[in-house]
Amino acid sequence: MRLAWAIVAGLAVGAAIGGWSMWRDRAAGPPGATGTRTPPAAADPAAPAPTLYRWRDDAGTLHITDRPPAGRPYEVVTLRDDQNVVSMSGPAPEPEPEAAPAD
């Protein structure tokens, strides 16, 4: 008998949590919203893609950043609108060798 009451109590708690969750999603949106939310990135498809820079440090580690490195060769990365990846079509420029010290 205790098992039956435990099952009934569990179902009641689950239904209450599910109902509260549905109410919360509907109450948070604008009037007429169905509870679905649009992610901020999808809000403006006409927004320009960010400019990215690909370069290597002294150890040869590849970096892709939103600011060009100071005093290093870099390559501007072009992002495609139909993909959510950075093209790796070519290698980043190699670091310039250091000049030999003069004696």
**How confident is the model over 1-47, as pLDDT tens digits?**
788 888 888 888 888 887 777 766 665 555 555 555 555 555 466 66
Q: Which residue has the tokens 């040869």?
A: 60
Domain locations in the chain as residue ranges: 1-28, 49-97
Average pLDDT score over residue span 59-83: 85
Dihedral sign (CA 58, 59, 62, 67): negative
Predicted local distance difference test score (pLDDT) of residue 8 = 86
Q: Which residue has the higher pLDDT, 89 or 70?
A: 70
Tell me the three state secondary structure of residue 62.
strand
pLDDT confidence of residue 86: 63
Residue 101 reports pLDDT greater than 80? no
Which pair of structure tokens corresponds to residue 68? 């060009």
Q: What is the DSSP string of 14-59?
A: HHHHHHHHHHHHHHHS-TT--S----GGGS-TTSPPPPEEEEE-TT
Q: State what percent of residues in the chain have pLDDT above 90.
A: 11
CA distance 93 to 68: 13
